[in-house]
Chain A
């Protein structure tokens, strides 16, 4: 077996991304790692993406080979921004060995990076060591930690997500990162299971105002139905409906800060969707807004005429914990 060649990462692509007030060319990389240590969230299929049964040395070797694939196949010269995900926590030593951490930092020396890690894997010594290798002074904030808080409500996070972190821990982590001159990109999850359309909307509005003081960037992920998850089981039984695109637009509109949002599986039964007719135009609008932060665009999206708007209004007002979901 070839143990030296490059391995294609789970996914990688280049595009444009908004970082605070700038739109930058970016490279997004999703590496296969040792896998998420928590491995419990009800809607997450990424946790199944892992090198199962591999020891630390093995993992390290497999991950380094993915890095060399990127080195060879992607031109990162032109992208000042590198976003890196591992379907878990980059700063979890069990998931990403130290030598891989170091290799990433030196490979992307001088770049601005967004790296995802669970709040419980944000060991500040490990992060500062990473930043020391990465940073060459080009960027005011060389590293943004992408923290999946999902909601500021501990009650919802425990029941509807089973994430195992607290808002309190998030706040402490965010403060610590800021103290070290690093940035925080917070992830919210719009409409986990067991919430009505309105409860999910209210949760986002509350969460956004709760986390805004701790975040340079907020990304809102509308929940989608991923394979081999508890949410998929509920969805198949008729007990989960992803959010309406109308709700997403309403949150984007009502939120004071700009929100990043790229609805996964948008317009499909498994993803956030409306009636099917108005979905493409609204999805384009939501993705444009994420990049341009153009409030006028949001206003025009809210004006889009579709027969399903009345249905959505009805669901927002009348879906209750005891009669949900009202629609599919």
Chain B
């Protein structure tokens, strides 16, 4: 059996290493001569059974069972103990029917061990490779592009063109194209695209690439939208990245990190004890408080209200968690126009938030559509909005009005830690005696001058020390076997993990002989079900 180890993941997309014959390793995703890697494939004769056939058909005719890769059929349970490579024979046809494709794929994805390479034959083209990788496929062949070559079609990530046109118009200057060798160009175009996909996954910018690539075909858009709604995709999607999140299309509204943010702001985040809320516009500069406009807002408010920033596509960013991913990382095109879909989602987020946290006064220091959104959201929550902006939020008269409106209100005790801890860990531990110190990007949390958290300068996430985990009594635990970790925690050593853990989360590793602090590389599900790979990148180990 040829073993597969995942090195990096982003949702169901992974980069991994596949051992092949004579000890060589292949970096996936890639397109290979699969019959060469898996000789038993070439022995298949008259064994076709389409995935649309039912169980009674399979009962009558033999399903190829002694083949590597193991072949999956929607009517058969995969052998969950097997890791290595699996394939979905003849599923390339299903790509034309995204719902059925997902209906077959998702149950298998949750049954087969995560450290299994997935092979989809005859499907990959430069124009769909990113979407196939996003669906959790790792291994491809050149059949799709070679067929295009046989048809005289020239392949690019943007689509297929008649080869004669492509050559005469010099659309490409690769070694194949200089000799008008279509087969070479098409294979290179696929391999190049897959190399770029590997890079973008490692780089943490694969979702942005995906959004660019799926535009060539409506069925591909359907696949990524359906995938984004699957819980198994969410479980494998990182909670933070060091790269910007580019919200350049309507699909970003459904991107997992965005949906997760809105969900956590409503259900996890705990605001400070304040009964006056001021809704503010966002700024291009992140975190917002570093911008000129927000410095003006803050000096008008003077901490006499809880500051809430209204923004697309996140919806709502409470001031205390503005440095957390993706609030300090997103960038969105600004036109002043809010489309119906984003209005609806943002309004819904704000009204749910206000229903759970009913303020005595709700002030909107917003103009245009944003003001309407907040007014409607507050109304849905049974609250009335006071407006302090009639010209422009940074207009001195409007700022004066904001200042004036808050006169007589008491100073709010800001609760940065409460906000950040509740967002990141899902509950509010006892934070009495804790002090947040230092400037942005160099912040630490101290208790009796002892550091208990540092703040990751790239993601804004809190990194607990052993003392930090002491004040976080539950959650985000990874239970390991009785051993002293030498370096990172590998998946086979993990016995149990809090199901809330996602890649990128800070975790506390607990064992009989040792404990450790570190950052999850895998989600909980992958840690528990995987037989290979780094589960937790360890920061510190303590022998017990």
Q: B494 in the interface, Cβ–Cβ < 8 Å?
A: no
Contact A323 B92 (CB under 8 A): yes
> 21 A-B pairs, CB-CB below 8 angstroms?
A155-B46, A159-B60, A159-B61, A194-B46, A234-B52, A237-B50, A239-B52, A310-B150, A311-B150, A314-B146, A320-B41, A320-B44, A321-B44, A321-B47, A321-B64, A322-B71, A322-B87, A323-B143, A324-B48, A326-B143, A326-B147
Known: A155-B46, A194-B46, A238-B94. 16 other contacts (CB 8 A): A159-B60, A199-B45, A238-B96, A238-B97, A311-B151, A314-B147, A318-B143, A320-B44, A321-B45, A322-B41, A322-B47, A322-B87, A322-B89, A323-B90, A324-B90, A326-B143
**CB within 8 Å for A234 and B146 given contacts A321-B89, A322-B44:** no
Q: B152 in the interface, Cβ–Cβ < 8 Å?
A: yes
Give the Cβ gap from B31 to chain A, nearest Cβ, in Å: 13
Q: A58 in the interface, Cβ–Cβ < 8 Å?
A: no
Contact B52 A195 (CB under 8 A): no
**Interface bits A176-198 vs B (CB < 8 Å: 1, else 0):** 00000000000000000011100
Point out the residues of chain A lying under 8 angstroms from B143, CB to CB. 318, 323, 326
Q: B472 in the interface, Cβ–Cβ < 8 Å?
A: no
Contact A318 B48 (CB under 8 A): no
**Bound: A66/B87 CA distance, A:** 55
Q: Within A306-328, which residues are at the interface with B (CB < 8 Å)?
A: 307, 310-311, 313-315, 318, 320-327
* CB nearest to A312 among chain B residues: B150
Point out the residues of chain A lying under 8 angstroms from B121, CB to CB. 320, 322-323
Q: A24 in the interface, Cβ–Cβ < 8 Å?
A: no
Point out the residues of chain B lying under 8 angstroms from A237, CB to CB. 50, 52, 93, 97
Contact B146 A318 (CB under 8 A): yes
* CB nearest to B35 among chain A residues: A320
Q: A156 in the interface, Cβ–Cβ < 8 Å?
A: yes
**Bound: A321/B52 CA distance, A:** 14
**Bound: A326/B143 CA distance, A:** 9
* CB nearest to B142 among chain A residues: A318
Point out the residues of chain B lying under 8 angstroms from A156, CB to CB. 46
Q: B434 in the interface, Cβ–Cβ < 8 Å?
A: no
**CB within 8 Å for A323 and B122 given contacts A310-B150, A311-B151, A318-B143:** yes
Q: Within A162-177, which residues are at the interface with B (CB < 8 Å)?
A: none
* CB nearest to A275 among chain B residues: B151
Q: B49 in the interface, Cβ–Cβ < 8 Å?
A: yes
Give the Cβ gap from B372 to chain A, nearest Cβ, in Å: 48
Contact B46 A321 (CB under 8 A): yes
**Bound: A222/B266 CA distance, A:** 63
**Bound: A21/B141 CA distance, A:** 50
Q: Describe A's contact surface by its main secondary structure.
A: loop
* CB nearest to A234 among chain B residues: B50
Q: Describe B's contact surface by its main secondary structure.
A: loop
**Bound: A325/B123 CA distance, A:** 11
Point out the residues of chain B lying under 8 angstroms from A194, CB to CB. 46, 48-50
**Interface bits A221-260 vs B (CB < 8 Å: 1, else 0):** 0000000000001100111000000000000000000000
Contact B50 A239 (CB under 8 A): yes
**CB within 8 Å for A239 and B90 given contacts A155-B46, A195-B46, A324-B48:** yes
Give the Cβ gap from A244 to chain B, nearest Cβ, in Å: 13
Point out the residues of chain A lying under 8 angstroms from B97, CB to CB. 237-238
Total contacting residues, chain A, CB less than 8 A: 27
Contact B150 A314 (CB under 8 A): yes
Q: Within B41-91, which residues are at the interface with A (CB < 8 Å)?
A: 41, 44-50, 52, 60-61, 64, 71, 87, 89-90
**Bound: A291/B45 CA distance, A:** 35
**CB within 8 Å for A313 and B150 given contacts A320-B121, A322-B87:** yes
Point out the residues of chain B lying under 8 angstroms from A318, CB to CB. 143, 146-147
Point out the residues of chain B lying under 8 angstroms from A322, CB to CB. 41, 44, 47-48, 71, 87, 89-90, 121
Contact A199 B46 (CB under 8 A): yes
**Bound: A325/B143 CA distance, A:** 12
**Bound: A231/B44 CA distance, A:** 22
Contact A323 B89 (CB under 8 A): yes
**CB within 8 Å for A239 and B93 given contacts A234-B52, A314-B146, A320-B121:** yes
**Bound: A239/B48 CA distance, A:** 10
* CB nearest to B123 among chain A residues: A323
Point out the residues of chain A lying under 8 angstroms from B87, CB to CB. 322
Point out the residues of chain A lying under 8 angstroms from B89, CB to CB. 321-323
Point out the residues of chain A lying under 8 angstroms from B96, CB to CB. 238
**Interface bits A277-314 vs B (CB < 8 Å: 1, else 0):** 00000000000000000000000000000010011011
Point out the residues of chain B lying under 8 angstroms from A311, CB to CB. 147, 150-151
Give the Cβ gap from B396 to chain A, nearest Cβ, in Å: 66
Contact B147 A195 (CB under 8 A): no
**Bound: A314/B149 CA distance, A:** 10
**Interface bits B86-118 vs A (CB < 8 Å: 1, else 0):** 010110111011000000000000000000000
Q: Within B126-179, which residues are at the interface with A (CB < 8 Å)?
A: 141, 143, 146-147, 150-152
**Bound: A234/B47 CA distance, A:** 16
**Bound: A320/B141 CA distance, A:** 13
* CB nearest to A322 among chain B residues: B89
**Bound: A325/B97 CA distance, A:** 15
**Bound: A234/B147 CA distance, A:** 22
**Bound: A237/B92 CA distance, A:** 12
Give the Cβ gap from A230 to chain B, nearest Cβ, in Å: 10
**Bound: A307/B151 CA distance, A:** 7
Give the Cβ gap from B446 to chain A, nearest Cβ, in Å: 61
Which of A311, A313, A315, A326 has its CB near the most chain B CB atoms (within 10 A)? Answer: A326
Which of B71, B87, B121 has its CB near the most chain A CB atoms (within 10 A)? Answer: B121
**Bound: A307/B162 CA distance, A:** 12
Contact A326 B122 (CB under 8 A): yes
**Bound: A155/B90 CA distance, A:** 21
Contact B150 A196 (CB under 8 A): no
Q: Which of B48, B49, B64 contacts A196 (CB 8 A)?
A: B48
Contact B46 A325 (CB under 8 A): no
Point out the residues of chain A lying under 8 angstroms from B52, CB to CB. 233-234, 237, 239
